[in-house]
Structure 1
Amino acid sequence: MNDDQFRQLLGYFDFSWAGYRKVRKGVKKRIGRHMMALGCEDLASYLSVLESDDASRLECDRLMTVSISRFFRDRRLWEGLREEILPPLVRGRGEPFRVWSAGCAGGEEAYSFHMMWALLKESLSSMPEVVIIATDLNEECLERARAGVYTPGSLREVSKGLRKRFFETLVKGQRYGVKPFLKENICWERHQLLGAPPGDGFHIILLRNNVMTYFQEPLRVEVLNQVISSLAPSGLLVLGARERLPESVHGMVALPDYPFIYRKEPG
């Protein structure tokens, strides 16, 4: 598959060339193997199959997912959540604090939040239970997340102290496994962002470096509005550090010091 054909496939899904340009090599290889398995010799026949067979279309959508993550990616976010943003939200709260990690990839983001929550408990006298729903379309990513075993590269922003506290060293330091207590209160679910959200009343939704990166504007707005509908009143939507909501998405206000974090306006 050449780049022109890949652009056509992206257009079929309303995906963004700008988002896929740097990662297209691996995606194109996966799509090529899928075309061969379906007996499609050219893009036209492949698109015809996708149009007529929902299972093949869903599989193609899954193969288009890009799973790039690491623990505490965008450190300013995690420091801001722990030091400034979360304390006033959770102090004295009785009901569980609901978090959705949307497009969770291999689970690094969900586990990072759980680690940060454990650290926050040390400075606050009373905190509610946290419930984390972590979703992805790619079942292979979810299996890796459930296992909780990672290479050293995924932990390059984790200090030695936090490695000792939250991880077990495996295979002579070539792998690290999250400690069992970190897996508690995390529910891993297969979910397509175009579908209905996996619940509602979320106090924080982490939607970083996926919808805003890989979707074109019309689809982007559709998915964003769907996701925002599942936020609790005054809930927070967290985008990637360089991402901003389109002007056509209403009812959200950026935090003054964190322009990539948006609060849902009451009503």
Structure 2
Amino acid sequence: MQPGGVWALKPVIEMSAAEFQVWQALLEERTGLVINEQRRAFLQTNLSVRMRELGVDGYANYFRQVTAGPSGAVEWSTLLDRLTVQETRFFRHQPSFDLLERYLAERLLREPLSAPWSLWSVGCSSGEEPYSMAISAAQVLRETAHLGHFGVTGTDISLSALSKAREGLYAARKLEQMDTELRERYFLAQDDGRYKVVPSLAAQVCCARLNVLELAKAPMSGMDVIFCQNLLIYFRRWRRREILNRLAERLAPGGLLVVGVGEVVGWQHPELQPVADEQVLAFTRNSL
């Protein structure tokens, strides 16, 4: 029997209330992520599996290991990948991409494309969102003289998620919401049933590691479009507003910010105006 099978037979190590609080505090301090009581089983299971892989007994011993100097930093990165990779798919919230295409098409009609559009996917996970954004931009520019005049940056805290994004290889179920025409245009079917992003589209997308608590240090500025969806729900309300304020600063005049519906309530920014769309929570920055 493989080691994974052995682990599956062992019960998850029970975590005391004090131990749970210690791990909650570490995650929030380092990433801003809040693991509430409803996600306690998720945290307990992932810690237990990793501890068994390493042969570590007890949550306290493992805590010391992930907080001990350079070797701890390596283990922390490994653990973080287990705790932050979210299940996603292409065009996850279709109305957001419909809005994106309308916005880009209107901009193209309103003003000449003097410089390539800059788009940013915050919390890009394994790449489905930034590639979806790239497809939307490519579709808008497809019949123009500006084909390829855009770039998409995807950022995430998880190194393993970023590795998958850069590989650009996806199971068929990830593309279920995509039109057949788009799938055939922007993906290459593989012998194993998976799909790979075509090189011309992949060249428009780059992915980099970024902790959203460190947005002040991020090199991105003057972005035409920023997507921040399915990320803020893991943070406290005051932190959500702080993150959005930072993102607003990175928008170019007239730029578009798209946020997950229901992820923030009552947030306002003096430079941003809400977009009139009942299906999408989005804002545009005031023009100069």
Smaller-chain TM-score range?
A: 0.7 to 0.9
Residue 227, structure 1, aligned to residue 247, structure 2: yes
**Alpha-carbon offset, residue 9 of structure 1:** 2.3
**Residues in 1 aligned to 2:287 and 2:64: alpha-carbon distance in whole angstroms:** 45
Compare CA radii of gyration and give the structure with the larger one: 2
2:274 match: 254
- Which of 202, 205, 211 does residue 192 from structure 1 map onto? 211
Residue 208, structure 1, aligned to residue 229, structure 2: yes
% identity of equivalent residues:
26
Q: Secondary structure at the match of 1:233?
A: strand
Which stretches of structure 1, 4 residues or more, deviate above 6 A after TM superposition? none
What are the equivalent positions in structure 2 for 1:121-140 lying under 5 Å apart? 121-122=141-142, 129-140=149-160
2:47 match: 31
Residue 165, structure 1, aligned to residue 181, structure 2: no
Unaligned runs of 5+ in 2: 1-12
1:10 match: 24
After superposition, what is the alpha-carbon deviation per residue over 1:86-136, rounded to whole angstroms, capped at 9, x for unaligned?
222234121121111111111111111111112112466667811111111
Q: Which has the higher contact order (CA 8 A, sep 6+)?
A: 1
2:5 match: none
CA RMSD of aligned residues (A): 3.0
AA paired with 1:121?
A: L
8 Å contact from structure 2 (residues 240, 264) kept in 1: no
Which TM-score applies when normalising by structure 2?
0.77
After superposition, what is the alpha-carbon deviation per residue over 1:67-93, rounded to whole angstroms, capped at 9, x for unaligned?
2211111111112221x3222223412
Greater alpha carbon shift after TM alignment, 226-235 vs 57-66: 57-66
- Which of 238, 246, 259 does residue 258 from structure 2 map onto? 238
**Residues in 2 aligned to 1:90 and 1:28: alpha-carbon distance in whole angstroms:** 50
Residue 79, structure 1, aligned to residue 98, structure 2: yes
8 Å contact from structure 2 (residues 254, 285) kept in 1: yes
Q: Secondary structure at the match of 1:116?
A: helix
Which TM-score applies when normalising by structure 1?
0.82
1:108 match: 128
Q: Secondary structure at the match of 1:171?
A: coil
What are the equivalent positions in structure 2 for 1:148-163 lying under 5 Å apart? 148-163=168-183
Aligned residues: 262
Q: Secondary structure at the match of 1:64?
A: helix
Change over 3 Å in CA distance of 1:125–1:179 after alignment to 2: closer
**Alpha-carbon offset, residue 213 of structure 1:** 1.4
AA paired with 1:190?
A: R
8 Å contact from structure 2 (residues 213, 243) kept in 1: yes
Q: Secondary structure at the match of 2:273?
A: strand
**Residues in 2 aligned to 1:33 and 1:219: alpha-carbon distance in whole angstroms:** 30
Greater alpha carbon shift after TM alignment, 185-194 vs 248-257: 248-257
